[in-house]
């Protein structure tokens, strides 16, 4: 059985400075043995983390993902082989994820006041979505989670919960318990039967990570934008 962190950012993400060694150490301490690395604009963090895990012989499974800024909001691609650029339409972003045989994962939808969250636009391409995040440990807005759950139920979409971890203390705030998998489609089938575990929330860190994102733009860390 895997304890899977579905939404995590490393030091390679534009709004996180979470070091790879720290991720491994915290996951081992908290019993997290699978991670979807979802850095903004890059898959390098996932690749480097996998290399470190292999060198340390740590028993942690890594899914290569990317949280992608589209023209209407963010979409996560899972099981990617190549980075997908920013500022494409949601439809084109989804096409490129599927082209890599990846899965389309919608993070923190229907959250008000956050420009990077998809909302009503989801209905335009609901048939192409594989997973919807119905609990995000950083979100203040419980109503958005209920709406996401209803959207997923109405459209027959698999649901998930994630920590959206940017800091060490946030790792494992929300994770999924599921059977092991060897392919994207097996992962999706197992996720459908998974158990959601909620351990905490990272509300206090959300404003800080937005401040880091702003400062990163000034410092030029986000050249991929």
Is 225 part of any domain?
Answer: no
Is 203 part of any domain?
Answer: yes
Distance between CA atoms of 110 and 120, rounded to whole angstroms? Answer: 8
In the block, residue with structure tokens 């290569």: 64
User: Within 10 A of 99 (CB to CB), how many other CB atoms are there?
Assistant: 11
Question: Is 7 in contact with 163 (CB distance < 8 Å)?
Answer: yes
Distance between CA atoms of 103 and 185, rounded to whole angstroms? Answer: 8
Q: Give 63-85 pLDDT, tens digit per residue.
A: 999 999 999 999 999 999 999 99
Question: Is 106 in contact with 132 (CB distance < 8 Å)?
Answer: yes
Q: Give 143-170 pLDDT, tens digit per residue.
A: 889 999 999 999 999 999 999 999 899 9
Is 109 part of any domain?
Answer: yes
Is 47 part of any domain?
Answer: yes
Buried b (16+ CB within 10 A) or exposed e, 163-177: bbbbbeebbbbbbbe
Estimate to the nearest angstrom the gap between the alpha carbon of 137 and the chain centroid.
12
**Please, what is the average pLDDT of the chain?**
90
Residues contacting 18, CB < 8 A, separation 6+: 8, 9, 10, 11, 165, 166, 167, 168
Estimate to the nearest angstrom the gap between the alpha carbon of 208 and the chain centroid.
18
Q: Which domain holds residue 155?
A: 2-219
State the Cα torsion 3-13-110-186 to the nearest 10°.
Answer: -40
Is 224 part of any domain?
Answer: no
Is 73 part of any domain?
Answer: yes
Distance between CA atoms of 51 and 45, rounded to whole angstroms? Answer: 10
Is 115 part of any domain?
Answer: yes
Q: Give 113-148 pLDDT, tens digit per residue.
A: 665 899 999 999 999 999 999 999 988 777 889 999
Q: Say how many domains are in the chain.
A: 1
Q: Give 19-61 pLDDT, tens digit per residue.
A: 999 999 999 999 999 999 999 999 999 999 999 999 999 999 9
Is 127 part of any domain?
Answer: yes
pLDDT of 217 higher than 50: no
Question: Is 94 in contact with 72 (CB distance < 8 Å)?
Answer: no
Report the CATH number that the domain containing residue 43 is assigned in CATH. Answer: 3.20.20.140
């Amino acid at each position: 059985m895997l304890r899977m962190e579905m939404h995590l950012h490393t030091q390679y993400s534009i709004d996180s400075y979470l070091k790879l060694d720290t991720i491994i150490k915290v996951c081992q301490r908290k019993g997290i043995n699978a991670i979807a690395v979802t850095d903004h604009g890059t898959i390098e963090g996932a690749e480097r983390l996998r290399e470190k895990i292999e060198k340390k012989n740590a028993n942690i499974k890594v899914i290569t993902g990317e949280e992608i800024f589209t023209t209407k909001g963010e979409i996560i691609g899972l099981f990617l082989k190549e980075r997908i650029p920013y500022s494409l339409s949601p439809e084109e972003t989804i096409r490129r994820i599927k082209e890599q045989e990846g899965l389309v994962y919608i993070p923190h939808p229907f959250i008000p006041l956050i420009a990077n969250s998809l909302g009503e636009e989801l209905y335009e391409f609901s048939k192409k979505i594989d997973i919807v995040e119905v609990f995000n440990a950083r979100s203040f807005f419980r109503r958005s989670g209920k709406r996401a759950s209803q959207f997923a139920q109405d459209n027959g979409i698999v649901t998930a919960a994630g920590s959206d971890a940017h800091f060490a203390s946030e790792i494992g705030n929300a994770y999924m318990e599921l059977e092991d998998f060897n392919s994207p489609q097996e992962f999706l089938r197992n996720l459908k039967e998974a158990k959601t575990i909620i351990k905490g929330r990272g509300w206090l860190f959300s404003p800080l990570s937005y401040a880091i994102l702003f400062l990163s733009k000034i410092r030029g860390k986000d050249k991929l934008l």
